[in-house]
A and B are shown apart, each in its own frame.
Chain A
Amino acid sequence: MARKASTQRKVLVTAIAWTIAFLIFFPILWTILMSFKSEGDAIKAPFDMLMSPWSFESYAEVQTRSNYSRHFMNSVVISLGSTLLALVIAIPAAWAMAFVPGRRTKDILMWMLSTKMMPAVGVLIPMYLIFRDFGLLDTRTGLVVVLTLINLPIVVWMLYTYFKEIPGEILEAARMDGANLRSEIIYVLTPMAVPGIASTLLLNVILAWNEAFWTLQLTTSAAAPLTQFIASYSSPEGLFYAKLSAASTMAIAPILILGWFSQKQLVRGLTFGAVK
Chain B
Amino acid sequence: MGKITLRNVTKKFGDVAVIPALNLDIENGEFVVFVGPSGCGKSTLLRLIAGLEDTTDGSILIDGADATDTPPAKRGLAMVFQSYALYPHMSVRKNISFPLKMAGVDPAEATRKVDNAAKVLNLTSYLDRKPGQLSGGQRQRVAIGRAIVREPKAFLFDEPLSNLDAALRVNMRLEITELHQTLKTTMIYVTHDQVEAMTMADKIVVLNAGRIEQVGSPLTLYRNPANVFVAGFIGSPKMNLITGPEAEKRGATTIGIRPEHIDLSTTAGEWQGEVGVSEHLGSDTFLHVHVPGMPTLTVRAGGEYGVHHGDRIFLTPQADKMHRFGADGKAM
Measured CB to CB, the residues of A under 8 A from B are 167, 169-170, 172-180, 183, 187-188, 191-192, 194
Which of A169, A177, A194: most chain B Cβ within 10 A?
A177
Number of chain B residues whose Cβ lies closer than 8 Å to a Cβ of chain A? 24
Q: Which chain A positions have C-beta within 8 A of B85?
A: 167, 169-170, 172-173
Whether B170 is near chain A, meaning CB under 8 Å from some CB there, is no
Given contacts A175-B72, A180-B73, contact A169 B81 (CB under 8 A): yes
Q: Is the CB of B150 within 8 A of A172?
A: no
Q: Determine if A175 and B98 form an interchain contact, defined as CB atoms under 8 angstroms apart.
A: no
Contact for B73 among A169, A170, A178, A188, CB less than 8 A: A178
Residue of B nearest to A176 (CB): B79
Q: Which 8 A-B pairs have the closest CB atoms?
A: A178-B102, A173-B85, A177-B99, A169-B85, A176-B79, A191-B89, A178-B73, A175-B72
For residue B72, which residues in chain A have a CB less than 8 angstroms away from its CB?
172, 175-176
Which residues of chain B from 1 to 53 have a CB within 8 Å of any chain A CB? 50-52
Q: Is B103 an interface residue (CB 8 A)?
A: yes
Closest CB in chain B relative to A175 CB, distance in Å: 5
Asked, given contacts A169-B85, A191-B89, A192-B89, whether A176 binds B50 with beta carbons under 8 Å apart, the answer is: yes
Which residues of A lie under 8 Å from residue B101 when comparing CB positions? 187
A192 adjacent to B98 (CB under 8 Å)? no
Residue B301 interfacial (CB < 8 Å):
no
Asked whether, in the complex, the Cβ of A177 is within 8 Å of the Cβ of B150, the reply is: yes
Residues of B within 8 Å of A192, CB to CB, are 87-89
Assembled-state Cα–Cα distance A187/B98 (Å): 9
A39 CA to B255 CA, complexed, in Å: 102
Interfacial chain A residues near B50, Cβ < 8 Å: 176
B64 to chain A, nearest CB (A): 22
Whether A183 and B102, one on each chain, are in contact in the complex, defined by CB atoms closer than 8 angstroms, is yes
A172 CA / B89 CA spacing, docked (Å): 16
| Residue B77 at the chain A interface, CB threshold 8 Å | yes
B-side residues, CB < 8 A to A, are 50-52, 71-73, 77-79, 81-83, 85-89, 98-99, 101-103, 146, 150
Residues B52 and A175 in contact, CB atoms below 8 Å apart: yes
Alpha-carbon separation in the docked complex, A170 to B150 (Å): 18
Instruction: Return A162 CB to nearest CB of chain B, in Å.
Output: 14
Shortest distance in angstroms between A194's beta carbon and chain B's nearest beta carbon? 8
> What is the bound-complex CA distance between A15 and B98, given in angstroms?
54
In angstroms, Cα B71 to Cα A183, docked, is 14
Contacts of B52 in A (CB 8 A): 172, 175-176
CB-defined contacts of B146 to chain A, threshold 8 Å = 173, 177
Which residues does chain A contribute within 8 Å of B78, judged by CB atoms? Answer: 176-177
**30 A-B Cβ contacts within 8 A?**
A167-B83, A167-B85, A169-B81, A169-B83, A170-B87, A170-B88, A172-B72, A172-B79, A172-B81, A173-B81, A173-B86, A173-B87, A175-B51, A175-B52, A175-B71, A176-B73, A176-B78, A177-B78, A177-B98, A177-B146, A178-B73, A178-B102, A178-B103, A178-B150, A180-B73, A183-B102, A187-B98, A187-B101, A188-B87, A194-B89
- Distance from B273 Cβ to chain A, minimum over Cβ atoms (Å): 48
A203 to B87, CA, bound (A): 27
Residues of B with C-beta under 8 A to A177: 73, 78, 98-99, 102, 146, 150
- For B82, the closest partner residue in chain A by CB is A169
The distance from the CB of B15 to the nearest CB of chain A, in whole angstroms, is: 15
- Which chain B residue lies CB-closest to A178? B102
A175 to B71, CA, bound (A): 8
CA distance A174 to B78 in the complex (A): 10
B39: min CB distance to chain A, Å: 18
- A177–B83 alpha-carbon span in the complex (Å): 16
Chain B residues with CB under 8 Å of A180's CB are: 73
- Whether the pair A175, B81 counts as a contact (CB closer than 8 A) is no
Q: For B89, what are the chain A residues with a Cβ–Cβ distance below 8 Å?
A: 191-192, 194
Q: A175-B52, A177-B146 are in contact. List 10 more A-B contacts (CB 8 A).
A: A167-B83, A169-B81, A169-B85, A175-B71, A176-B72, A176-B73, A177-B99, A178-B102, A179-B102, A191-B89
For A170, the chain B residues whose CB sits under 8 A away are 85-88
Contacts of B71 in A (CB 8 A): 175
Q: Whose C-beta in chain A lies nearest to the C-beta of B89?
A: A191
A176 touches B88 (CB 8 A): no
Instruction: Report the Cα distance A180→B71, complex, angstroms.
Output: 9
Q: With a CB–CB cut-off of 8 A, which chain A residues contact B87?
A: 170, 173-174, 188, 192
Chain A's nearest CB lies how many Å from the CB of B114? Answer: 13
Please indicate the chain B residues that have their CB under 8 angstroms from the CB of A176 in the complex.
Answer: 50, 52, 72-73, 77-79
Q: Is the CB of B73 within 8 A of A175?
A: yes
Q: How far is the CA of A115 from the CA of B73 in the complex (A)?
A: 39
Distance in angstroms between the alpha carbons of A167 and B81 in the assembled complex = 12
Contacts of B150 in A (CB 8 A): 177-178
Expressed in whole angstroms, the minimum distance between the Cβ of A183 and any Cβ of chain B is: 6
How far, in Å, is A191 (CB) from chain B's closest CB?
5
For B72, give the chain A residue with the smallest CB separation. Answer: A175
